[in-house]
Amino acid sequence: MKGRVAGKGSGWGMRGLSAALLLGSLTAALAGGLAQTPQGRPPAPAAAAVSRPAPTLTLGTGASQRVLGLAQLRALPSVTYEVRHPQLGRSFVYRGATLRDLAVAGGFGGQDLRLYASNGYLTLIRARDYLKSPIMVAYEADGHAITVLDKGPLTVVLPPEPARYRTPAYTTAWVWYVNRVTPAPPGPQGGK
Ligand SMILES: Nc1nc2c(c(=O)[nH]1)N[C@H]1C(S)=C(S)[C@@H](COP(=O)(O)O)O[C@H]1N2
Ligand SMILES: [Mo]
Protein backbone atom coordinates (compact mmCIF):
# COMPACT_ATOMS: atom_id res chain seq x y z
CA MET A 1 0.00 0.00 0.00
CA LYS A 2 1.35 3.40 -0.93
CA GLY A 3 2.43 5.64 1.92
CA ARG A 4 2.10 2.79 4.40
CA VAL A 5 4.69 3.06 7.12
CA ALA A 6 4.65 -0.42 8.56
CA GLY A 7 2.59 -3.59 8.79
CA LYS A 8 -0.72 -3.44 10.61
CA GLY A 9 -0.93 -5.22 13.90
CA SER A 10 2.78 -5.30 14.62
CA GLY A 11 3.42 -4.93 18.31
CA TRP A 12 0.00 -6.02 19.53
CA GLY A 13 1.37 -8.75 21.76
CA MET A 14 4.09 -6.56 23.15
CA ARG A 15 1.66 -3.73 23.73
CA GLY A 16 -0.46 -5.89 26.01
CA LEU A 17 2.64 -7.17 27.76
CA SER A 18 4.07 -3.69 28.31
CA ALA A 19 0.76 -2.46 29.69
CA ALA A 20 0.78 -5.36 32.13
CA LEU A 21 4.40 -4.69 33.12
CA LEU A 22 3.71 -0.99 33.56
CA LEU A 23 0.67 -1.69 35.71
CA GLY A 24 2.69 -4.21 37.67
CA SER A 25 5.46 -1.74 38.41
CA LEU A 26 3.01 1.02 39.30
CA THR A 27 1.26 -1.35 41.68
CA ALA A 28 4.59 -2.46 43.15
CA ALA A 29 5.71 1.14 43.61
CA LEU A 30 2.46 2.04 45.32
CA ALA A 31 2.51 -1.06 47.50
CA GLY A 32 6.17 -0.46 48.43
CA GLY A 33 5.50 3.17 49.24
CA LEU A 34 2.44 2.38 51.32
CA ALA A 35 4.29 -0.35 53.21
CA GLN A 36 7.06 2.07 54.16
CA THR A 37 4.75 4.93 55.13
CA PRO A 38 1.46 3.37 56.23
CA GLN A 39 -0.03 6.72 57.18
CA GLY A 40 1.42 8.77 54.35
CA ARG A 41 1.53 8.87 50.59
CA PRO A 42 4.07 6.87 48.60
CA PRO A 43 7.45 8.64 48.63
CA ALA A 44 7.94 10.98 45.67
CA PRO A 45 11.18 9.39 44.36
CA ALA A 46 9.50 6.01 43.73
CA ALA A 47 6.62 7.63 41.86
CA ALA A 48 9.01 9.86 39.91
CA ALA A 49 11.15 6.88 38.90
CA VAL A 50 8.11 5.11 37.51
CA SER A 51 6.58 8.00 35.60
CA ARG A 52 9.72 9.85 34.49
CA PRO A 53 12.54 7.51 33.47
CA ALA A 54 15.69 9.28 32.22
CA PRO A 55 15.49 9.67 28.46
CA THR A 56 18.19 8.07 26.36
CA LEU A 57 18.16 7.64 22.63
CA THR A 58 20.65 5.31 20.96
CA LEU A 59 21.65 6.08 17.38
CA GLY A 60 22.79 3.09 15.35
CA THR A 61 23.97 -0.28 16.67
CA GLY A 62 27.17 -2.05 17.69
CA ALA A 63 30.59 -0.41 17.77
CA SER A 64 29.42 2.73 15.95
CA GLN A 65 26.39 3.43 18.14
CA ARG A 66 25.96 6.72 20.00
CA VAL A 67 23.87 7.11 23.14
CA LEU A 68 22.31 10.54 23.60
CA GLY A 69 21.02 11.69 26.99
CA LEU A 70 18.56 14.53 27.46
CA ALA A 71 21.29 17.22 27.48
CA GLN A 72 22.66 15.94 24.19
CA LEU A 73 19.18 15.79 22.66
CA ARG A 74 18.55 19.35 23.82
CA ALA A 75 21.87 20.47 22.30
CA LEU A 76 20.58 19.56 18.83
CA PRO A 77 18.44 22.12 16.97
CA SER A 78 14.85 21.78 18.19
CA VAL A 79 11.46 22.07 16.53
CA THR A 80 8.23 22.99 18.31
CA TYR A 81 4.68 22.59 17.06
CA GLU A 82 1.20 21.73 18.25
CA VAL A 83 -0.48 18.56 17.04
CA ARG A 84 -3.12 16.11 18.19
CA HIS A 85 -1.65 12.82 19.37
CA PRO A 86 -3.74 10.21 17.53
CA GLN A 87 -3.64 7.57 20.28
CA LEU A 88 -3.97 9.95 23.26
CA GLY A 89 -6.67 11.97 21.48
CA ARG A 90 -5.32 15.26 22.88
CA SER A 91 -3.29 18.13 21.45
CA PHE A 92 0.12 19.04 22.83
CA VAL A 93 2.80 21.56 21.96
CA TYR A 94 5.66 19.16 21.38
CA ARG A 95 9.34 20.00 21.34
CA GLY A 96 12.11 17.72 20.15
CA ALA A 97 14.88 16.92 17.70
CA THR A 98 14.05 16.06 14.09
CA LEU A 99 14.67 12.62 12.64
CA ARG A 100 16.58 14.44 9.93
CA ASP A 101 19.13 15.83 12.42
CA LEU A 102 19.22 12.62 14.46
CA ALA A 103 19.99 10.55 11.36
CA VAL A 104 22.83 12.92 10.49
CA ALA A 105 24.11 12.76 14.10
CA GLY A 106 24.06 8.97 13.87
CA GLY A 107 25.99 8.95 10.61
CA PHE A 108 23.11 7.64 8.48
CA GLY A 109 21.52 10.87 7.25
CA GLY A 110 19.00 10.53 4.45
CA GLN A 111 18.45 6.78 4.82
CA ASP A 112 15.15 5.09 5.66
CA LEU A 113 14.99 4.60 9.43
CA ARG A 114 14.03 1.84 11.79
CA LEU A 115 12.70 3.08 15.13
CA TYR A 116 12.68 0.87 18.21
CA ALA A 117 10.72 1.29 21.44
CA SER A 118 11.44 0.02 24.94
CA ASN A 119 8.44 -2.38 24.72
CA GLY A 120 9.94 -4.24 21.75
CA TYR A 121 7.91 -2.40 19.12
CA LEU A 122 9.67 -1.39 15.91
CA THR A 123 8.65 0.35 12.76
CA LEU A 124 9.96 1.94 9.57
CA ILE A 125 9.94 5.65 8.76
CA ARG A 126 10.81 6.58 5.19
CA ALA A 127 13.47 9.12 4.22
CA ARG A 128 10.96 10.66 1.81
CA ASP A 129 8.77 11.52 4.82
CA TYR A 130 11.28 12.69 7.43
CA LEU A 131 13.42 14.65 4.96
CA LYS A 132 10.45 16.74 3.85
CA SER A 133 8.72 17.37 7.18
CA PRO A 134 9.84 17.86 10.77
CA ILE A 135 8.98 14.44 12.21
CA MET A 136 10.54 14.60 15.68
CA VAL A 137 11.63 12.60 18.65
CA ALA A 138 9.85 14.69 21.29
CA TYR A 139 11.26 15.11 24.80
CA GLU A 140 8.84 17.82 25.93
CA ALA A 141 5.06 18.32 25.74
CA ASP A 142 3.47 21.60 26.84
CA GLY A 143 6.79 22.64 28.34
CA HIS A 144 7.22 19.55 30.54
CA ALA A 145 8.98 16.19 30.40
CA ILE A 146 6.70 13.53 28.85
CA THR A 147 5.43 10.93 31.32
CA VAL A 148 5.13 7.22 30.54
CA LEU A 149 1.34 7.61 30.61
CA ASP A 150 1.70 10.16 27.81
CA LYS A 151 3.99 7.73 25.86
CA GLY A 152 7.29 9.28 26.99
CA PRO A 153 9.94 10.02 28.01
CA LEU A 154 10.73 10.08 24.27
CA THR A 155 7.98 9.73 21.71
CA VAL A 156 7.81 10.14 17.93
CA VAL A 157 5.58 13.01 16.77
CA LEU A 158 4.44 13.79 13.22
CA PRO A 159 3.42 17.31 12.15
CA PRO A 160 -0.22 18.00 11.19
CA GLU A 161 0.76 18.47 7.54
CA PRO A 162 0.79 16.83 5.04
CA ALA A 163 -2.74 15.48 5.57
CA ARG A 164 -1.69 11.87 4.93
CA TYR A 165 0.04 11.90 8.34
CA ARG A 166 -3.43 12.03 9.89
CA THR A 167 -4.59 8.87 8.12
CA PRO A 168 -4.56 5.35 9.63
CA ALA A 169 -1.61 4.39 7.41
CA TYR A 170 0.62 6.58 9.58
CA THR A 171 -0.58 5.65 13.06
CA THR A 172 2.22 3.08 13.27
CA ALA A 173 4.80 5.89 12.93
CA TRP A 174 3.84 7.37 16.32
CA VAL A 175 6.39 5.29 18.21
CA TRP A 176 5.87 5.60 21.95
CA TYR A 177 8.84 5.12 24.34
CA VAL A 178 11.26 5.32 21.39
CA ASN A 179 14.79 4.42 22.47
CA ARG A 180 16.78 3.60 19.32
CA VAL A 181 17.04 4.84 15.74
CA THR A 182 19.01 2.89 13.15
CA PRO A 183 19.25 2.86 9.37
CA ALA A 184 16.59 0.48 8.02
CA PRO A 185 17.90 -2.81 6.66
CA PRO A 186 17.16 -3.28 2.95
CA GLY A 187 13.71 -4.57 1.95
CA PRO A 188 10.25 -3.15 1.39
CA GLN A 189 9.44 -3.11 5.11
CA GLY A 190 12.90 -2.15 6.27
CA GLY A 191 13.70 -5.75 7.18
CA LYS A 192 10.67 -6.11 9.44
N1 LIG B 1 6.01 1.77 21.61
C2 LIG B 1 4.94 1.45 20.86
N3 LIG B 1 4.45 2.37 20.01
C4 LIG B 1 3.40 2.07 19.22
C5 LIG B 1 2.85 0.78 19.24
C6 LIG B 1 3.38 -0.16 20.19
O7 LIG B 1 2.93 -1.30 20.32
N8 LIG B 1 4.42 0.22 20.98
N9 LIG B 1 1.87 0.47 18.33
C10 LIG B 1 1.75 1.33 17.13
C11 LIG B 1 0.64 0.98 16.28
S12 LIG B 1 0.84 -0.32 15.19
C13 LIG B 1 -0.51 1.67 16.34
S14 LIG B 1 -1.82 1.35 15.29
C15 LIG B 1 -0.70 2.65 17.35
C16 LIG B 1 -1.79 2.05 18.22
O17 LIG B 1 -2.29 2.96 19.12
P18 LIG B 1 -3.61 2.59 19.95
O19 LIG B 1 -3.50 1.15 20.40
O20 LIG B 1 -3.66 3.53 21.08
O21 LIG B 1 -4.75 2.78 18.97
O22 LIG B 1 0.47 2.94 18.14
C23 LIG B 1 1.73 2.75 17.53
N24 LIG B 1 2.89 3.02 18.38
MO1 LIG C 1 -1.23 -0.65 14.41
> What's the whole-model pTM score?
0.77
Reply yes or no on whether the pLDDT at 183 is more than 60: yes
Rg (CA), the chain: 17
Quote the CATH superfamily of domain 56-183: Oxidoreductase, molybdopterin-binding domain (3.90.420.10)
> Does ligand 1 have an atom closer than 6 angstroms to the CB of 118?
no
Q: What is the mean pLDDT of residues 29-56?
A: 53
Reply yes or no on whether the pLDDT at 32 is more than 80: no
> Does ligand 1 have an atom closer than 6 angstroms to the CB of 117?
yes
Domain ranges of the chain: 1-51, 56-183
Let me know the angle formed at the C-alpha of 110 by 191 and 55, rounded to the nearest 5 degrees.
75
Tally Cβ neighbours within 10 Å of residue 108: 19
- Determine what percent of the chain is predicted with pLDDT higher than 90: 68
> Does ligand 1 have an atom closer than 6 angstroms to the CB of 123?
no
The tens digit of pLDDT for each residue in 125-159 reads 999 999 999 999 999 999 999 999 999 999 999 99
